[in-house]
Amino acid sequence: MDKNARNSRFQETVRVNTRIRVPKVRLVDDEGNQLGVVEIEDAIRIAQEKGLDLVEVAATSSPPVCRIMDYSKFKYEQKKKQKLAKKKQHVTHIKEVRFKPKIEEHDYQVKIKHIRDFLVHKDKVRISLRFRGRENAHKEFGLELLNRITQELSAIGEPESQPKTMGKTMMVTLVPKA
């Protein structure tokens, strides 16, 4: 999408000057004072005398509320607000790290490092432990491993609930600490 298309879409939502097609508007001047209900031609003339634009701020009211302001400055402020809102917004993802009950120390440390990175970036982490064959008879080893993981990461994350067993899989979800 090119830049002009984005700007034209923004202009469609906010009507300015001659694009306002109603006979009368409730007018607010650039200092915030209410000037009452006036003819659209008079409102546009007042705005042009001040060297500003007539911007429709509340199209749904009857008559529509229009404000005398610098439209380019208004547009800039709106974009700035949208960027700030987008920056503050964080989408939480659930990352999954899979373990086996019998895991070597180096593999364990590598996976813990990944979990730590996910928690630092404010993502939830689902730790799943898959039992195969005879391992299924000794689920206490898996529970010990999950407890070890949650204790090791207790500084930056806490378990959302107790470890759950579903079939051959045991899992726990860690959430980042606030």
The answer, yes or no, to whether residue 109 has pLDDT greater than 50, is yes
Instruction: Answer whether residue 89 is part of any domain.
Output: no
49-82 pLDDT, tens digit each: 999 999 988 888 888 999 999 999 988 988 999 9
pLDDT value at position 11? 47
Mean pLDDT confidence for 29-58? 90
Going across the sheet that includes 24-28, the strands are 34-39, 24-28, 65-69, 53-58
Q: CB–CB of 120/156 below 8 Å?
A: yes
For residues 101 and 172, state if they share a domain. Answer: yes
* Whether residues 113 and 44 fall in one domain: no
Least confident of 8-12, 15-19, 72-76: 8-12
The answer on 128 and 70 residing in a single domain is no
**Does residue 124 surpass a pLDDT of 90?**
yes
Does the pLDDT value for residue 112 go beyond 70?
A: yes
pLDDT in tens, 147-173: 999 999 999 999 998 999 999 999 999
Indicate if 14 and 45 belong to the same structural domain. Answer: yes
Q: What is the mean pLDDT of the chain?
A: 88
Domain shared by 172 and 112, yes or no: yes
CA dihedral 40, 44, 47, 49 (to 10 degrees): -130
Tally of structural domains, the chain: 2
CATH number at 103 reads: 3.30.110.10
109 shares its domain with 67: no
- What is the pLDDT confidence band of residue 1, given thresholds at 50, 70 and 90? very low
Gap between the Cα atoms of 73 and 38, Å rounded: 24
**For position 17, what pLDDT does the model report?**
86
Please state the pTM of the whole predicted model.
0.54
Q: 48: domain range?
A: 3-74
**Cα angle at 33 between 78 and 44, to 5 degrees?**
70
Percentage of residues in the chain having pLDDT higher than 70: 93
Nearest to 44 by CA among 52, 32, 34, 33: 52
Q: Residue 6: its pLDDT value, please?
A: 55
Return the CATH number at 70: 3.10.20.80
Residue 120 forms part of a structural domain = yes
Say yes or no: 60 and 110 in one domain.
no
Q: How far apart are CA 27 and CA 64, in angstroms?
A: 9
Share of the chain above pLDDT 90, in %: 52
126 is a domain residue: yes
Average pLDDT over residues 106-119: 96
| Bridge partner list, 55 | 16, 67
Domain membership of residue 15 (yes or no) is yes
Domain assignment present for 114? yes
Asked whether residue 84 is domain-assigned, the answer is no
Conformation bin of residue 167: beta by default, left when phi > 0, alpha when psi is -120 to 50 = left
Boundary-marking domain end, from 27, 43, 74 = 74
